[in-house]
Structure 1
Amino acid sequence: MVDAFTFLRGDHESVLGMFEVLDGAPQGEGAKVSGLDTMVTNLIIAESQHEAIEQQYFWPTVRAYLDDGDKLADHAIAQEDSGKQLLQQLEDGRPGEPEYHGALAAFITAGREHIRYEQDVVWPRLAAVLGEGELQELGETLKRAKKSAPTRPHPDTPSNSSVQKTMGMAAATVDKIRDAATGRSRDNPPDAPTP
C-alpha cells in the first residue's frame, strides 16, 4: 500500500523533472523539430490526471479534516484552475508560436508554486490529523482513480468534487478514445512505479 503523500510526491517529482527539461526548451523554428510537442503532451496528460484526482479525493479530504480546509482547498483549486487554462492553451497551440511558449513558461512557474504550496503548507497540516491507515487508504484511492482520470485539462468542467467524479469520468472516457484514435497515448510514457 502507498500513502497519499508518497503517491502525490511521485507525481510531483515527475512533473518537476519535466519542468527542468522544459525550462530550456527551444523556441521559434527549433521548437518545431525538437520533440517539444511530445514532452508538453506528456506534461498535459500527467497534470490533467493529477489535478483531476486531487479535486475528486484529496481536496475534499482537506476540507473534511482541517478547520480551515475550505480556505486551503479553495486556494489550491484556484491555482489548479488557472493551470488548466494554461494547459488548454498548450493543448490548442503549437511549438514555435509565441503564445505557446508564453503559456509554457507561465505554467512552469505556476506549477512550481502550486507544488510548494501543497507540500509545504497543506501536507504538514493534513499529516498532523490523519493516521497512517487513513493516509494509505487515501493513497490507494488516488492510485486507482488515476487509472481512469482525464488526460486533457477540461478547464470548463467545474472543480467541484462531485462534478469531477461524474463528468470527469465521462471526459476521461472520451479522452482515452481520442488518445487511441490519434496515437497520442502511444507517445505518453507509463507512470513510474509507486513504492
Structure 2
Amino acid sequence: MSRTIEEQTVEQLGGPNSILVRQRRDHAEMDRLMNLYRALDDGEERERALKDLVQLVFSHAFAEESVLWPVVRRSVPEGEELTSRVEEEHQQINDLVSGIERLDAGDPEREAKVERVFALIQEDVRDEEDLLLPRLQDALDSARLRRLGAAWEAVRKSAPTHPHPVVPRRPPGNAVLGVPLSAYDRARDAFGLDVSGAAGKKALTGLAGALAVAAAVAVLRKRH
C-alpha cells in the first residue's frame, strides 16, 4: 500500500488536479481554520472562522459521499468497511454541529461540542489520508485520479454547507435531497439569514424539512 498522502509530493499524488491533492488541500484548510478559531480572542472573528470551517467540512463531506466513496467501494479491497468508518465519523460531526448551531456563542456546552467536532475532524482526516486514500491511489492511475478530482470538485462547489439530519449518507438519497438543501444553505450563507432565537431556528428548520420532503416526493413520482 502507498504511504500516507500527507508525505507525498503533488506529482506522486497524480498532479494538482488529482482527487488526492484536492482532498489534502481541503484538509490543510480545515486545520488552519481550527487553529485560527483557537487562537482568536475576538468573538465575532472566532464565529467567522467557525462558520467558514462548517461550510467547508459539510461541502467536502457531501462530495466525498456522493462521488468519492462509491468509487472506493467498487475499486478498493475493504472499501465498504473503510467508507462505513468515515461515514460514521461524518454522522457524528453532523449531529454535533447541529447541536452547536442551536447554542449561543460562549456557552460552555457549545465550546465543548466545538472541541469534540475538531477532534473528530482530525480523526477523520487521519483515517482518510493514512488508510483510505492510499488504497485508492493503489487502485487508480493518475488520469482516473484527476477525472475523479474534477467530478468531486464540481459537486463540492454546489453541495450543502450545513448539517441536515434528513440527508442520508449514500447515493442516490443524498444527491437527491442535497440539491434543494444546497440552495437553502447557500442563500442562508450569502444573505446572512438570522438563525438566532427560537422563531428563526424553527422557521429555517421547517423550510429545510419542506425542501427535503418536496425532493423525496419528486423522486417517487419520477420512479412511478
Matching residue of 1:19: 34
Residue by residue over 1:136-177, the C-alpha shift from the partner in whole angstroms, topping out at 9 and shown as x without a partner, is: 010000111111111112133110121111111111011122
Matching residue of 1:192: none
Matching residue of 2:24: 9
C-alpha distance in 2 between matches for 1:142 and 1:132: 15
Choose from 67, 70, 80 the match for 1:57.
67
The alpha carbon displacement at 1:132 in A equals: 0.8
| Aligned pairs (5 A) from 1:35-184 | 35-182=45-192
Unmatched runs of 5 consecutive residues or more in structure 1: 185-195
Count of aligned residue pairs for this structure pair: 179
C-alpha distance in 2 between matches for 1:171 and 1:105: 26
> How many percent identity over aligned positions?
23
Q: Which protein, 1 or 2, shows the higher relative CO under an 8 Å CA cutoff with sep ≥ 6? A: 1
Residue by residue over 1:85-122, the C-alpha shift from the partner in whole angstroms, topping out at 9 and shown as x without a partner, is: 11222222222111210111001111101100000001
The answer to whether the Cα contact below 8 Å between 1:44 and 1:91 also exists between their aligned partners in 2 is: no
Classify the secondary structure of the residue corresponding to 1:128.
Answer: helix
Classify the secondary structure of the residue corresponding to 2:172.
Answer: helix
C-alpha distance in 2 between matches for 1:76 and 1:56: 13
RMSD: 1.7
| Cα distance, 1:116–1:105 mapped onto 2, change above 3 Å | same
C-alpha distance in 1 between matches for 2:106 and 2:167: 29
C-alpha distance in 1 between matches for 2:104 and 2:45: 11
The answer to whether the Cα contact below 8 Å between 2:19 and 2:145 also exists between their aligned partners in 1 is: yes
Output the amino acid matched with 1:154. H
Residue by residue over 1:42-85, the C-alpha shift from the partner in whole angstroms, topping out at 9 and shown as x without a partner, is: 11111110111001011111101012111010001001110111
Matching residue of 1:191: none
